[in-house]
Structure 1
């Protein structure tokens, strides 16, 4: 099931947010884990380039 973004984050005239999900590989086991974060939509490209 998909998770929904909390409605209180969407205010008129406020900052819009985006949910970014990254796959991160563990150095010890080699397994992938997923890291989720809510960031302002203006910083999405900068976050994905890291």
Structure 2
């Protein structure tokens, strides 16, 4: 099933996606974790603001 998704994203008319990785500090422990998201290229700035 993953092969179909990858093939669909690589099509010529498909949307371009970017992987956004943010460092988030836990309020409980104070440890840093990383949150990863796949977002359309147009929505990168919005994903970074949230």
- TM-score, normalised to structure 1, is 0.77
Secondary structure of 2:35 counterpart? strand
**Partner in structure 2 of residue 47 of structure 1:** 47
**Partner in structure 2 of residue 27 of structure 1:** 27
How much is the aligned-residue C-alpha RMSD, in angstroms? Answer: 1.5
Secondary structure of 1:22 counterpart? strand
> Please, which runs of 5 or more residues in structure 1 have no aligned partner?
1-5
Matched positions, count: 45
**Partner in structure 1 of residue 17 of structure 2:** 17
**Partner in structure 2 of residue 38 of structure 1:** 38
Q: Which has the larger radius of gyration?
A: 2
Secondary structure of 2:44 counterpart? helix
Distance 2:47 2:10 in 1: 21
